[in-house]
A = this chain, B = another copy of it.
Amino acid sequence: MKPFRRVFVVGGAHTTYMGKARADFVHPKQVTAERRNPTLEEHLQASVRATFEATGADPSAVDKGYVSNFLGECFARQGHLGSMLAAVDPALEGKPFARIEAACASGSAAIAACIDAMQAGCDVTLVAGVEVETNVRGSEGVDHMALAAHWEQQRGLSQFVFPHLFGVRAKAWKEAFGGTSEDLARIVVKAYANANRNPQALNHTSAMTLEHADTPSDRNFLFLEDPELHAHMRLTDCTAFTDGASSVLLATEDGLKRLGIAPGDCTEILSYAHSVRGLGKPTDGARLVNVQGAASQAYADAGITAQDVDVAEVHDCFSVTEAQHYPALGFCAEEDSPARIRDGSFALDGSLPVNPGGGLIGFGHPIGATGVKQVLEVHRQMRGACGDYQMAERPRIGVTSNLGGDDRTGIVMVHAAVG
């Protein structure tokens, strides 16, 4: 989908992505009335207020908005989040808000709906992505995450449904393309290295060595029950439970005039493609077929090729998901992905940095926020706003790929610097 009314990313803000890896996180067992982690509503409020502050936009300028969130009912006992967004500022009262859910691709689905709304006449839109996940026991959290799969048909696969499904992918990827566990560990090491430069990242201060990521141990255990898959999923291959919010403000050219902001201070979304496959239907474990289709469409609509891409934010819910993204997004041939991992092509100082802020594994994965975070991170790289993890040369063309379930929802967007 190529917008006929141009869509600009004006700016936005993340809250600090919280979880056990951060020193400022309060472990659930140590929570008191005085000392606790921010709630879903507090994350939402903070990211929205910081977005207005960062962009200088007045909340009254907003025409429409969406909250992206996957599991508010389960983790935070809260639905109706569109109405929670309206409560953030008196000037937002009476505006049209709702919540969009597409499992882990909720954020991009909400941005896509805002792009549609801007073609329909809205000039300034707001997307607030949020999730809180750390406030229940891990086993319960894992169960909630499984609602992105076909619960009735797939919950019997494992007590860890998604690690199981992506363990299948890790095994298939290695077998099909000659990749190794060490290659996947290198993706993890890159994620942490980038996150270590990013003060808002969950893993900002967590060290990660190739030896630790690649060696099963009592601190990096293999946990899948299935003997076929057991060796293919380590704790460090997975994202950790994360609380956080990311918001972005979007505007048309008319919207920018209303806001008094020049297009040259923004970035542009050139296209999006959104492809969904049936829940519980068979998948190809060796490749992201659905993402690949969405990427082809998004590139064609934007008039670019994979060779034009300078930076990418991809959905590394597990290390193998990033490995499978490289060919799905056209960054290399399928059989070359292990070699490209080994030669550092996708590192912060590589030829095509992928997830320079840490991605889902390094930065964190508060599910509803992730797609919004990806778009904002490409914007920030293009605007030179990334501090210690700023790319040496500001990217001109960027791609975001946000995944829901086991290659079920795929939303790919193409972004461009302006001016």
CB of A80 closer than 8 Å to a CB of B: yes
CB of A284 closer than 8 Å to a CB of B: no
Residues from chain B with Cβ under 8 Å of A74 in the complex? 73-74
The 8 Å CB contact of A101, one of B94, B99, B148, B293, is B99
A103–B80 touching, CB < 8 Å: yes
Q: Smallest Cβ distance from A400 to chain B, in angstroms?
A: 16
The 8 Å CB contact of A119, one of B64, B93, B120, B409, is B120
B148–A95 touching, CB < 8 Å: no
A275–B94 touching, CB < 8 Å: yes
Give the number of times this chain occurs in the complex, counting copies: 2
CB of A82 closer than 8 Å to a CB of B: yes
From A107-115, A203-211, A390-398, give the one contacting chain B. A107-115
B98–A101 touching, CB < 8 Å: yes
The 8 Å CB contact of A404, one of B70, B73, B83, is B83
B99–A278 touching, CB < 8 Å: no
B80–A279 touching, CB < 8 Å: yes
CB of A117 closer than 8 Å to a CB of B: yes
CB of A179 closer than 8 Å to a CB of B: no
B99–A82 touching, CB < 8 Å: no
A98–B409 touching, CB < 8 Å: yes
CB of A77 closer than 8 Å to a CB of B: yes
Residue pairs across A and B with Cβ atoms less than 8 A apart, 7 shown, are A3-B120, A80-B101, A93-B276, A93-B278, A98-B101, A98-B102, A98-B109
